[in-house]
Chain A
Amino acid sequence: MEVLGYLIPISLTLGAVGLAAFIYTVRSNQYDDPEGDSRRILSDEWDDRPKPD
Chain B
Amino acid sequence: MKIWIYLNGVQQGPYELAQLSQLPLRPDTPVWYDGLPQWTPAAQAPATAQMFADAFAPAQAFQPAASVQQQATAPASECAPARPSTYFVWSILLTLLCCTPFSIAAIITGAISNSKYNSGDFAGAQRMSAATEWLVILSIVFGILALPLSLIFFL
User: Do they bind each other?
Assistant: no
- Chain A residues at the B interface, C-beta cutoff of 8 Å: none
B residues engaging A (CB < 8 A)?
Answer: none
